Structure 1
Amino acid sequence: MNIDLSGKHAVVTGSTGGIGFAIAKGLAGSGASVVINGRADAKVQQAVETLKKQVPEATVEGVAADLSNADGVATFTRRVPEADILVNNLGIFEPKAFEDIPDEDWLRFFETNVMSGIRMSRAYIPGMKKKDWGRIVFISSESGLNIPLEMIHYGMTKTAQIAVARGLAESLAGTGVTVNAVLPGPTRSEGVVEFFAKLAKEQGVSQEQMEKDFIAQHRPTSIIRRLATVDEVANMVVYACSKEASATTGAALRVEGGLLRSIG
């Protein structure tokens, strides 16, 4: 299968690094023009230059905006009024005991992880419906089905993304616009690497051992028995955004190494 997204315009939120950058690279490599997003202009421009070096033929631009609030989304969509492909990747996580999570954190996580995708989707759906073609993907997590005890507020937002994606897909029934959620498992992104590096230093072990211990202790049902790579996640997203995925909608697509034991 040769995925060709030539002529398609893609927006990937939270894409200056990690899974988001890998998705942007995958879409650009498949011919789509891509908009990279992050909060800091310097980091956005650095990501744009890196992508251009890695995919020399890419058409890519960057727009700095904080999409965790309505004003930031309005700023972004004024700069980029239309998109054929929207990947709602922006997200934050933080291990914290339930009793230590204040109201402010619950609201911050919901605004960032859930409302950003809702607002961005609302902005771009009218244009997609006019063209009778569009792809929206929410980057959820296996934590949306397997709520992590160490960060329940994060798991809550990931469950919400799955629900929004399914409901939105049904609301677009009969159109050429598909909506899906992609559920990565533990993935070796920059944020996760930094998290494990900090834990490894605190516990006096190597980062490699820290990662193995985490899988064994916290995700023991993993079949691949390792962290996924950002490119492995991006491959699923690029497919979901392709013309070939026209019958895939309303789905929760797993890239979690088999750690979720349910069949459905």
Structure 2
Amino acid sequence: MDLGIEGRIALVTGADSGIGWHTARLLLAEGATVVMSDLDQERLDTAASDLEAPEGRLHAFAADITSLDSLADLHTKVADAVGDIDILVQSAGVTGAQGLFHEISDEGWTKTIETDLIGPVRLIRQFLPSLRRGGWGRLVLLASEDAMQPYDDELPYCAAKAGILALAKGLSRSYASEGLLVNAVSPAFIRTPMTDAMMDKRADELGVSTEEAIESFLVEERPYMELGRRGEPDEVANVIAFLCSDLASFVNGSNYRVDSGSVATI
């Protein structure tokens, strides 16, 4: 399918694996020039080497979205390499502090919110002038099912992702008249390094295999995931790529849930 983004320039954060990597792959396949970013340059270079891209169409720059200095450096590198971006996909994030409310410290809350909410705010602030200049832009923020259906053992993450939905909706009202469309995507239990780590930890705690931990998690913790499996990262990336495209020219301020029905309400 032609998404109408050939020649567009995209920045994808959290791109060394999982949803971010698959999004970068799809945007490349549709003819966009892609800048991948994540924390570790070595891992990022390895991830980029696994993608097939014509010369000059793929770049990889490490950055920490929680650091203003790091983001300023990223902006300089992106501008030097490709100029202004047209598309920004914010996929970087962490599960953060876990446990019941009374078990989580101020530090746990602060570090989670810093990465999953303040980080995206800083990233957007850094690249917003770029996105506004061209008269056509797409900003897609990764939220989570947790934003709408919070779980009591990961409330800092839930609160941060609820903030992402509010941020996306608010931004969508500010810049649509300039051609910049803003939307969110909320996945649930996707096969990524983040959920791999969660399931490995669960397996250790229960004394079972990782596959058994996944099966019991689906039954006990995610009963509304009607397909009865983890999602694949490309199943989320497909929706992100659509929202980055000309096909989504009348989609603004939305939240697309890619969750197999995990959120119990409509």
Q: TM-score, normalised by structure 2?
A: 0.93
Cα distance, 1:191 vs structure 2: 2.1
Query: For residue 83 of structure 1, what is the aligned residue in structure 2?
Result: 85
Instruction: Report how many residues are paired.
Output: 261
Task: Say whether residues 1:2 and 2:5 are aligned partners.
Answer: no
Q: Which moved more, 1:143-152 or 1:203-212?
A: 203-212
- Aligned ranges for residues 178-197 of structure 1 at < 5 Å? 178-197=181-200
- Give the Cα separation in 2 of the matches to 1:173 and 1:6: 21
Is residue 124 of structure 1 aligned with residue 127 of structure 2?
yes
> Could you say what secondary structure the match of 1:188 adopts?
coil
Checking the alignment, whether the CA contact within 8 Å between 1:139 and 1:181 is kept in structure 2 is: yes
Most deviating of 74-83 and 157-166? 74-83
Question: C-alpha displacement at 1:56, in angstroms?
Answer: 6.2
Matches within 5 A, 1:98-177: 98-177=101-180
SS in 2 for 1:34: strand
Q: Measure the CA separation in 2 of the matches of 1:6 and 1:57.
A: 15
Q: Residues 35 and 41 from structure 1, CA distance in 2 versus in 1: closer, same or farther, beyond 3 angstroms?
A: same
Cross-structure match for 1:210? 213
Mapped partners of 2:171, 2:11: distance in 1: 18
CA distance in 2, matches of 1:32, 1:197: 36
* Matches of 1:180 and 1:112, distance apart in 2: 19
Secondary structure (helix, strand or coil) at the match of 2:139 reads strand
Matched residues, percent identical? 33
Deviations 1:60-88 (A, max 9, x none): 11101111221221111111132110011
Paired residue for 1:19?
19
RMSD over aligned CA atoms reads 1.6
2:9, 2:176 → 1: CA distance? 22
CA distance in 2, matches of 1:215, 1:28: 33
Query: Over residues 142-193 of structure 1, what are the superposed CA-to-partner deviations in whole Å (9 max), with x where a residue is unaligned?
Result: 0000111110000000000000000000011322110001000111102211
State the distance in 1 between where 2:258 and 2:182 align.
17
- Secondary structure class of the residue paired with 2:50: helix
Question: SS of the counterpart of 2:178?
Answer: coil
Q: Which runs of 5+ in 1 are unaligned?
A: none
CA distance in 2, matches of 1:126, 1:195: 37
Q: Is the 8 A contact 2:4 2:247 kept in 1?
A: no
Q: Quick one: which amino acid aligns to residue 132 of structure 2?
A: K
Please say if residues 88 and 116 of structure 1, whose CA atoms lie closer than 8 Å, have aligned partners that are also in contact: no
Aligned residues of 2:66 and 2:122 also touching (Cα < 8 A): no
Give the SS at the match of 2:177: coil
Partners of 1:163 and 1:107 in 2: CA distance: 19
Q: Distance in 2 between matches of 1:201 and 1:36?
A: 33
Which amino acid letter does the alignment assign opposite residue 51 of structure 2? L
In 1, Cα distance between equivalents of 2:184 and 2:205: 35
Residue in 2 that maps onto 1:256: 259
TM-superposed deviation, 1:57: 7.6
